[in-house]
Structures are given as structure tokens and as C-alpha cells.
Structure 1
Amino acid sequence: MVYDFERTQRIAVIGGGPGGYEAALAGAQLGAQVTLIERIGVGGSAVITDVVPSKSLIATAEATTAIRAANELGVQFFTKAEGSGRPVKPEVAVNLGAVNKRLLGMAHAQSEDMRANLLEAGVKIIDGNGRLDGRDAVIASTEAGGTGADFDRIEADTVVVSVGASPRILDTAAPDGERILTWTQLYNLKAIPEHLIVVGSGVTGAEFASAYRALGSTVTLISSRDQVLPGEDADAAAVIEKVFKRGGMTVLNKSRAESVVRAGDGVIATLSDGRTVEGSHALIAVGSIPNTAGLGLEDAGVQMSETGHIRVNRVARTSVPNIYAAGDCTNFLPLASVASMQGRTAIYHAMGDAVNPTELRNVAANVFTQPEIATVGWSQREIEEGLVRGEIYKLPLAQNPRAKMMGIKDGFVKLFASIGSGTVIGGVIVAPKASELIFPLALAVEHRLTVDQVAEAFAVYPSLVGSITDAAKALHRVD
């Protein structure tokens, strides 16, 4: 397609999650005529049913943990009514109905703020379902299912598809929204589950298992692998599993759930070896599937993967030159931050603006367990397999003075540097708020700083970030 840049460019965006939102906003900022089609609300599932509510729930869980651990820091609680003057162990009660009302309210408010931003920028928003009509147009239907007669046909020079993904559903563990749940249905609960069975020990399963154990649920985590969080750094996963077990969680490794069924006011999970686990509720967290079915992608010539993901390159372009895609529906990393970057990159590329192709190696990622796991760059596994030549240094967080002051016993900073040059090529942080602490390493990886350059920066004393500079100093090489 040859664009006529004498007239305003027309951009159609299907899906208003992080990728679609950024694409629409970038297009409007560059002077394009932008139409955004979104079926559940601006922000998509990331804001309304996934990232925002889940991390809000996790923040509540962290608060309960802090209260329970306060005694270790010398903070004692007393019951005045008894008049005994003796400290008591706090009984933490969580009003889950109030918690869920708050977090869903925040999610809605965030969605409305994003919608207002788009409208102020001049984006036209259609509340409905979108699908491709060939390569140069989009059908926007405002009827359920997107197949009704109430629709608009929007011609477009550039199309961005950012429709996200949905929880994977198992036939043998079909969610009913009451006792057997996906992670999008948890926020309908009115009370803390007495015994939550979590099927799946990936990021989502581990995060919710960690949160609900802290909120007071008995938790059984069923993992088909040798260790929880099989896709993460092995040392980091080992720390999390140790913390889980120490906190009273039952972790069933090398166990596969064959089925989960309702049993009166509870559920029964049957494992592949015949064992059964009884609980009050079950969370099925076994991955997600892209929402790409019925969008007309194949008819438009867009190449797809066997899993239904849209194949894109580093500027989010599909096999069709004027069609781009962003977010969890693509074959890139399923992270909100990556989706946002893809959406903006797609528009910059489509409109001829300066663009830096997305480098997945530089993306910082985080697992919101207690403690958190943050990673960036090359992994230890890749170094050990010889994919890159690197040195590894691991510093236990318990040696950090600020960690001692805060009562932190678990976690570490691990730094990877290129052999010879000393360039920082990756790192892992396991700590409270590791999502915040990883940023200096992300900067180092992005801008190819050496360990000596990192070590020369002043870290506040005492601070957790001081462990990063300490690890960098340990990797100093004498020429």
C-alpha cells in the first residue's frame, strides 16, 4: 500500500488494552484520524479483570503479612479490654467483599481515566466488537458477539489488532464462577476461601497462591513440574517455594490435575496418580489463549502461529504491511509493558516516525509473589548453556544492612556480566518490591553499562539497592 501523506492518515485499533490504548494515543498525537473499538472498556482485561485488580489484591495481602510480622520488629499489640497489659498476637481479619469492591472500583476509575485521555486527544471510541473486513477496513459491531447487523465499516490505512487473551479453559475443570474459578472470576468472592486449590504453578498461579495464603486461606498448589515457577530463575523459584512451604502452603510438585469437579459446597481435584485433594474453591491457572478467533485475520492474509497468536516482528508489524498487532494476542512476551511499547512502536513505524525496534532481551519482568522476583536480560540458564559468555555473582539479601533493619531474611541480588568487557547483560532480584529495584539493572542492560560504571554510581546507605552496587563491585576485573 502506498500512503498519501497529503491527507490525514486513518488508523483503526481493535482492542483498547495497553497496546491498543498506546497505539490510539500515539496516532492521535501524530495527527492521525483514530478510531478505537473496545468491547469491555478502555484498558481492556489488563485494567478491568487482570493486572490492576490482581496487583491491588496482592497489595492487600502484603499489608496483612506486614501486620503479622510486626512483632519481629518490636511492634506489639495489646487488647485494652482485657486490661492485662500483655502483648497479644494480632488476629488479622480480611473483609474480602470490601477488598474486591475497592479494587474493582479502582480498575473502573483507571479505565475511565484512560478513556478520558483518548477522548481529549481526539480518538473516536466505539463500544463494541471489531473484526477485519479485508486488509483496509474494520467492521465495528455494537451487538453481542460482533456478528449482528448493527455495525459500522471503518476504512483504514493502518490497522492495529490488540485483543489480548483469555484464561485457558479445561474440559475436565470447567469454571462455574462460584467454586471453580478463573483468575477473572475471583473478584466475585464475598469471603476468603477456606481452602483454595490452585491448579498451575506458573506466574499467575504462584501470585494468587501467595496472595490468598497471606489473606488467610489454606492453600494447596498443584504443580506439574519439579518446582514452582518453572520458567523463572531456578534459585529465585527455590526461594519462593521455600517461603511458600514455611508459610504453611502445601505444594504438590510433579503432580498433574486430571480433573476438578464440584462436590456440594466444595471441590475435589483428582490427580493423575489417583490422589485427590478436597477444598472449598479451586483456581484454574493453566495459561491463556489469544482472543484472535473470528477476527478475519486469516482471510486478510495475516500469518498466525499454531497456538492462534499473531506473528509480528520487532516493530509489531504482521505479514500484511499495513496491519500491526500488539499485546498478548501476539507471539511476543505477554506483559502489559511490552504491549504498550508494541502499540506505540507500531504507530511510529506506520506513520514514518523514528522508531526503535523492541528488544525483548531488555524487557524487565516481575512476579508479584512475596517476595517478588524481577528479571532482565540474559538468564543464568542461557549462560550455563553457552548461549552467551558471562560471569555470575549472587549476593544474599540477608547481608544487606537495610534488609536486616527491615527484617528481610529471604532473597538475593544476582548480576550477570559479559566476560572480558564487564558489560551488564542481565540480572535477577528476589526481594520485597523487586519490581522497583530492577530498574537500575534494566538501565544498565539497555545502555550497555559495565559493572564498573554501575559500581561508580552512589547508592544511598543503607538501602536495598546498595546490594546492586555491591554485586557490581564484586565483578570488577583488573586489567
Structure 2
Amino acid sequence: MSEFEVDLFVIGAGSGGVRAGRIAASHGARVMVAEEYRVGGTCVIRGCVPKKLLVYASHFAEDFEDAAGFGWSVGETRFDWARLIEAKDREIDRLNAAYIRNLERSGAKLEPMRAVIEGPHAVRLADGRLVTAGTILVATGGAPYIDPALPGRELAISSNEAFHLQRLPERIVVVGGGFIAVEFAGIFNGLGVETTILHRGDGLLRGFDEDLRHKLREEIEKKGIRVVLGDQPAEILKADEELVLRTAGGLEIEAGEVMIATGRLPNTAGLGLENAGVARDGAGAIVVDAYSRTNVPSIYAVGDVTNRVNLTPVAIREGHAFADTVFGGKKIAVDYAGIPKAVFSQPEIGSVGLTEAEALAEFPAVDIYRADFKPMKHTLSGRDERMLMKLVVDGTSQRVLGCHILGAGSAEMTQLVAIALKMGATKEDFDATMALHPTAAEELVTMRQPSMRHRR
């Protein structure tokens, strides 16, 4: 008989926590999971899933316009924000229920309340119960960050509130230049909202390939999104029925809403980590080793709360690896190389592997293959939108180091290209692959001559 009530106590029922709990239970562990909000985490409840549903909705205005070039006469169109949000909420409710069913079917016990660590093997539930556990896993994710020193910050919304607006504003300012900022800017713009992006950096999507960053700005400005770089909020004021955002650079921008999307922080406050002596870094993230173990042997952490690679599939992989390692008798460390990324901006972006700058820093010889073209659809639609594809290749071994795509379907393409890169495909392998015509993806196997050769 174990000295503990459960073998595993999971704090947080998001993507990583649910996967860890289910897999641990499948290995025979007695599992308890606590979640104070809704099962599914940020991605399912107020992140990737509802966001992509809104992205789909925001595309239809352009689709109606494009239809004319293909012989369709589209009559009057009207958009109802309330109906969209109602439909989105129904789908999130369905997913939440499915996550709960799957977790409970695995044998894990769900406690719908907050849990706080009281020691290396003890957790206190919000109803006062103390639960002892052989292992504790923290999987509480991250939370939007709004600078507490910003005057008027209480007037702003984050991505959390954006999913539940009672009405669409006529104008919005989105502050930030990362994934969330450019995605929501595209959503609001596509739904007819006058949209401004305000970002303190010199370009959007820091960390992505420079060609993609420049091309994205060019394309979203064509769509009517105003992009203000090198500036940041100084104050948000209430003015009659609207808000006024004053910037450090002296601008005054009127808007119905100001959305702050300047990043997320690990959600570690108030978890009782100090009660067990769990180490955190300067950003508040839980420090873990390659097997997601903290400095306290009985406590682990996965997902955004560790601030490693903050993507849903990564949290899922980390949770699975943790459960296999601790309860399945397999010592598994997650491989973080070659993780594909998608940004559901408009147009969307898919990226995997090294950027041109990263490759140049690591390899003495780098070849760049680049195609910039009008997609076939827009030869008839007349839309002024272009597509970009780029391969980064080791000039010595000819191994493909990176693939970066901007345009319709780029995320789907990138998922498949990621397999080839993981297997070590060379440019010759791409060249030897028969093209699938007519597709945009065929450009990936028909770019024969380098656009640029770097040698040092």
C-alpha cells in the first residue's frame, strides 16, 4: 500500500496536464487532476482553437469579393458578431466536455477547483482538503501580460477578453508584434474593423525569417492594416464612448478597444511553489531539466509554465514524455529541434528549421532558394496578394536547413515539410520529387537555381 493517496497530482488541465494525466493513468498510476477554470487549457478554451475559428470567419469578406472574378454574383452580405461568438462558444463547450470525458475515461479523477502546493508531496485543494501525492506535476500554462505601470491599463483588453466582446468596435489598436498581435489584427481587419498595430520593435514577428517578416508587413498593409513601429503606449484614456491611446512617440489614436498583446508570462503566482522550494527563473518560469523535473525530485512541470517552447504540441509532447518517463519505465527527453510553427495571420505563415540569419551564424556556406509569385487563384480574382516560399540550404552538404512560407495553405505545407527536414532531406531530394501541378507547393520542388549563395 502506497504511503500517498495518489501517485500523480496534476495542477492544471490544459493540453500538457491532460495528456500527462491520461498517459500516466494508462500506465497504472492513480491520478488526480485539479483545474480551477475549464478543462482544455488556453489552446482549447481561449487560444488556438477559438482564434482559428475567428480567422475562418474573417476570411469570408475577401472570399465574397474574389468570387466575382470567377463568375459569381454575390448579393448583399451582412456579418453578425454575436452569432459568431455564440457558435464559437458552442464548439468550445463541446471540446471542454470531450476533454473531461477522455480524462475521466482514462481513470484520472478531476477536481474542478484551484490547488496549491503545500510541500514536496502535498497539495491543498480550494475546498480545504489536503491530498498527498508521490509526484506532483505543474501544468498551469501562461497568462497575458499587461504592463502594470501603464496608465489606463484597466481600460485595455487582452486576447482573453477579445473572445468575449459584446460587440465589435469600429476601430481597434492592437499593441504588440508577435503571433497573437498579428493574428488578431487580421481577424478584426477581416471583419471590417479599422485596425492599427502598434509595436515598439522595428519589425513584426521577431525570431522569424527576415523575408517573411518584411513580406507580412507589406501584405497586411495592402489589406488596410496600419502598422506603427518603433513606438509604444504611454497612456490609455477614456474619451466619451471611445478610448484614446497616447504613445511615447506623441501619437494619439482613437479606438473603441485597445488590445494588449505584448506577450505572456508563466502562470506561477500563488501556486505555493515556495512551500516546496521549487526554483523559478527571472521571468517566473519553473526551472526544469531535460525530463521536466524541477530541483525538487518529486515535482515536475511541463508546458508554458516552464517557458521553453510555448506551443501546444510541445506541451502535449512534454506531458507524454513525462508520464512515460516517470510511470512507463521509459526515459524520454523531448527533442526541440525542427519544431514547425504557424502564424494564422492573413496571409498565414508556416516556418520550420533555421532562418537565413541563423544558418549564416552556424554554417560557412548557405544557399538560399526563393520564390515570390502571385497565387493562381488571384490571376482571376484580381487580388493584389503574393506568396513567398524560401528554402535555406547548407551549401556544403546540401541538407535543407529551413523552409519558410507565406501565403494560403502555408501551415499545412509546413507540417509535411517538417517531416522531410526531420529526416535530413537534401536539396537533391526535393529536386528529385515530382511536382504536383497545379499547386503552390510545387514551387518547393521546382526551385533549381539559388537566389543567393553565402560563403565565408
State the TM-score, normalizing by the size of structure 2. 0.91
Deviation of 1:300 (Å)? 1.9
Moved more, 65-74 or 111-120: 65-74
Q: What is the number of equivalent residue pairs in this alignment?
A: 449
Q: How has the CA–CA distance of structure 1 residues 35 and 195 changed in structure 2, closer, same or farther, with 3 Å as cutoff?
A: same
**Which structure 2 residues correspond to residues 185-196 of structure 1 after superposition, within 5 A?**
185-196=161-172
Q: Distance in 1 between matches of 2:13 and 2:267?
A: 13
| Partner in structure 2 of residue 81 of structure 1 | none
Q: How has the CA–CA distance of structure 1 residues 137 and 92 changed in structure 2, closer, same or farther, with 3 Å as cutoff?
A: same
User: Is 1:450 aligned to residue 420 of structure 2?
Assistant: no
Q: Distance in 1 between matches of 2:380 and 2:313?
A: 33
| Partner in structure 2 of residue 283 of structure 1 | 259
User: Is 1:151 aligned to residue 128 of structure 2?
Assistant: yes
Q: Which runs of 5+ in 1 are unaligned?
A: 79-90, 142-149
Q: Distance in 2 between matches of 1:379 and 1:245?
A: 24
Q: How has the CA–CA distance of structure 1 residues 198 and 325 changed in structure 2, closer, same or farther, with 3 Å as cutoff?
A: same
3-state SS of 2:303 partner = coil
Deviation of 1:279 (Å)? 1.2
Q: How has the CA–CA distance of structure 1 residues 374 and 173 changed in structure 2, closer, same or farther, with 3 Å as cutoff?
A: farther
**Which structure 2 residues correspond to residues 188-227 of structure 1 after superposition, within 5 A?**
188-227=164-203
Query: What are the Cα deviations for residues 237-285 of structure 1, in whole angstroms up to 9, with x where unaligned?
Result: 2122112211122111111111222222100000112221111111111
**Matching residue's letter, 1:159:** I
Q: Distance in 2 between matches of 1:396 and 1:292?
A: 44
User: Is 1:65 aligned to residue 62 of structure 2?
Assistant: yes
**Which structure 2 residues correspond to residues 291-306 of structure 1 after superposition, within 5 A?**
291-306=267-282
User: Is 1:134 aligned to residue 119 of structure 2?
Assistant: yes
Deviation of 1:319 (Å)? 2.3
User: Is 1:107 aligned to residue 92 of structure 2?
Assistant: yes
- 8 Å contact from structure 2 (residues 69, 381) kept in 1: no
Deviation of 1:14 (Å)? 0.6
Q: How has the CA–CA distance of structure 1 residues 406 and 380 changed in structure 2, closer, same or farther, with 3 Å as cutoff?
A: farther
**Which structure 2 residues correspond to residues 313-332 of structure 1 after superposition, within 5 A?**
313-332=289-308
User: Is 1:118 aligned to residue 95 of structure 2?
Assistant: no
Query: What are the Cα deviations for residues 140-160 of structure 1, in whole angstroms up to 9, with x where unaligned?
Result: 22xxxxxxxx23222222221
| Partner in structure 1 of residue 28 of structure 2 | 31
Q: Distance in 2 between matches of 1:279 and 1:61?
A: 20
- 8 Å contact from structure 2 (residues 6, 132) kept in 1: no
| Partner in structure 2 of residue 378 of structure 1 | 354
- 8 Å contact from structure 2 (residues 389, 443) kept in 1: yes
| Partner in structure 2 of residue 160 of structure 1 | 137
Q: Distance in 2 between matches of 1:382 and 1:204?
A: 23
Q: Distance in 2 between matches of 1:366 and 1:261?
A: 35
Q: Which runs of 5+ in 2 are unaligned?
A: none
3-state SS of 1:159 partner = strand
Q: Distance in 1 between matches of 2:381 and 2:2?
A: 58
| Partner in structure 2 of residue 98 of structure 1 | 83
- 8 Å contact from structure 2 (residues 234, 247) kept in 1: yes
Deviation of 1:174 (Å)? 4.7
Q: Distance in 1 between matches of 2:71 and 2:217?
A: 27
Deviation of 1:71 (Å)? 2.3
Deviation of 1:127 (Å)? 0.4
**Matching residue's letter, 1:134:** G
User: Is 1:56 aligned to residue 65 of structure 2?
Assistant: no
Q: Distance in 1 between matches of 2:195 and 2:272?
A: 42
3-state SS of 2:337 partner = helix
**Matching residue's letter, 2:334:** T
Q: Distance in 1 between matches of 2:263 and 2:19?
A: 25
Identify which of 147, 159, 164 aligns with 1:170. Answer: 147
Q: Distance in 1 between matches of 2:2 and 2:143?
A: 38
| Partner in structure 2 of residue 412 of structure 1 | 388
User: Is 1:15 aligned to residue 12 of structure 2?
Assistant: yes
Query: What are the Cα deviations for residues 300-358 of structure 1, in whole angstroms up to 9, with x where unaligned?
Result: 23221101011223332222233221111112111111111111111111125335422
Percentage of identical aligned residues: 27
3-state SS of 1:329 partner = helix
User: Is 1:77 aligned to residue 53 of structure 2?
Assistant: no
3-state SS of 2:227 partner = strand
Q: How has the CA–CA distance of structure 1 residues 192 and 333 changed in structure 2, closer, same or farther, with 3 Å as cutoff?
A: same
- 8 Å contact from structure 2 (residues 24, 328) kept in 1: no
3-state SS of 1:467 partner = helix
Moved more, 449-458 or 221-230: 449-458
Q: Distance in 2 between matches of 1:353 and 1:389?
A: 43
**Matching residue's letter, 1:260:** I
Q: How has the CA–CA distance of structure 1 residues 129 and 287 changed in structure 2, closer, same or farther, with 3 Å as cutoff?
A: same
Deviation of 1:66 (Å)? 1.5
**Matching residue's letter, 2:286:** I
Moved more, 67-76 or 329-338: 67-76
3-state SS of 1:308 partner = coil
Q: Distance in 2 between matches of 1:106 and 1:173?
A: 36
Q: Distance in 2 between matches of 1:16 and 1:107?
A: 15
Q: Distance in 1 between matches of 2:301 and 2:446?
A: 41
Q: How has the CA–CA distance of structure 1 residues 336 and 174 changed in structure 2, closer, same or farther, with 3 Å as cutoff?
A: farther
- 8 Å contact from structure 2 (residues 338, 422) kept in 1: yes
Q: Distance in 2 between matches of 1:448 and 1:9?
A: 43
Q: How has the CA–CA distance of structure 1 residues 435 and 388 changed in structure 2, closer, same or farther, with 3 Å as cutoff?
A: farther
**Matching residue's letter, 2:49:** V
Query: What are the Cα deviations for residues 373-400 of structure 1, in whole angstroms up to 9, with x where unaligned?
Result: 11111121212334675322112243x6
Moved more, 165-174 or 372-381: 165-174
3-state SS of 1:46 partner = helix
Q: How has the CA–CA distance of structure 1 residues 7 and 285 changed in structure 2, closer, same or farther, with 3 Å as cutoff?
A: closer
